């Protein structure tokens, strides 16, 4: 006598339980992409979210922080295929290394007031990551002990990872691909103008 197997339940992603647990604990919305749990939260709950992740969920290892400049107009390359909401998206990844669990948190901040609370009091490892994002994107991390430059010289104007930042090398010598349609600059003269 053979028995029929029970009706197959809908396939559940192995990370779904973690995604649901984290989203409920921090009041965010979760998605799973590329085998990574990503939870979107509001900028207003940024520090509270990470405190909960560390203290209640055991995500004690701070891995990284960065940002994305979502823009419709770009200086180089093709504009997005679809209109996007212009904003900065700040992202972090924190983990419980002993259990092999990791979560990426993200929060959107407006471009006209690019400020979010610092995580240095929650994860001291956020210090240099926030300094880099401040330097490269112009994001202010309120409460940070010192957003000094890491890479760029003092007095450098602009934020190089903003999509609106002009690439001087492109202005001096255009990319020879199909992106740039203007003519290449003339070759330098070999004559000595002072002779």
* pLDDT tens track for 122-153: 999 999 999 999 999 999 999 999 999 999 99
29-33 and 36-40 strand pairing: antiparallel
H helices of 27-139, in order, are: 46-55, 126-137
Q: What is the pLDDT of residue 154?
A: 87
Closest CA to 90 of 36, 52, 126: 126
Could you tell me if residue 37 is inside a domain?
A: yes
Kindly report the CATH number assigned to the domain that includes residue 39.
Answer: 3.30.460.80
Count of structural domains, the chain: 1
Q: Which pLDDT tens digit goes with each residue over 92-114?
A: 999 999 999 999 999 999 999 99
Mean pLDDT, range 152-166, rounded to an integer: 90
Which three-class secondary structure state does DSSP give residue 99?
A: coil
Give 179-182 contacts, CB < 8 A, sequence gap 24+.
179/76, 179/77, 179/78
φ/ψ of residue 145, rounded to 5: -70, -15
Could you tell me if residue 64 is inside a domain?
A: yes
CB 167 within 8 A of CB 179: no
When pLDDT is cut at 50, 70 and 90, the band that residue 190 belongs to is low
CB 163 within 8 A of CB 75: yes
Could you tell me if residue 100 is inside a domain?
A: yes
Domain hosting residue 143, numbered range = 15-76+84-170
Could you tell me if residue 108 is inside a domain?
A: yes
Could you tell me if residue 175 is inside a domain?
A: no
Mean pLDDT, range 163-178, rounded to an integer: 66
Q: Which pLDDT tens digit goes with each residue over 45-60?
A: 999 999 999 999 999 9
């Amino acid at each position: 006598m053979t028995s029929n197997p029970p009706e197959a339940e809908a396939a559940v992603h192995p990370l779904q339980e973690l995604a649901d647990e984290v989203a409920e604990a921090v009041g965010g919305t979760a998605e799973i992409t590329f085998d990574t749990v990503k939870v979107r939260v509001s900028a207003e709950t940024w520090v509270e979210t990470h405190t909960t992740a560390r203290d209640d969920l055991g995500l004690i290892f701070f891995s990284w922080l960065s940002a994305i400049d979502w823009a419709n107009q770009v200086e180089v390359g093709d504009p997005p295929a679809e209109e996007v909401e212009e904003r900065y998206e700040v992202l972090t990844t924190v983990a419980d290394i002993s259990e092999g669990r990791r979560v990426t948190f993200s929060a959107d901040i407006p471009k006209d007031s690019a400020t979010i609370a610092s995580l240095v009091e929650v994860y001291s490892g956020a210090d240099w990551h926030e300094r880099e994002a401040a330097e490269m994107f112009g994001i202010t991390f309120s409460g940070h002990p010192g957003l000094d430059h890491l890479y760029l010289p003092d007095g450098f104007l602009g934020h190089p990872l903003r999509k609106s930042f002009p690439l001087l090398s492109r202005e001096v010598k255009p990319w020879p691909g199909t992106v740039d349609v203007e003519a290449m600059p003339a070759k330098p003269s070999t004559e000595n103008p002072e002779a």
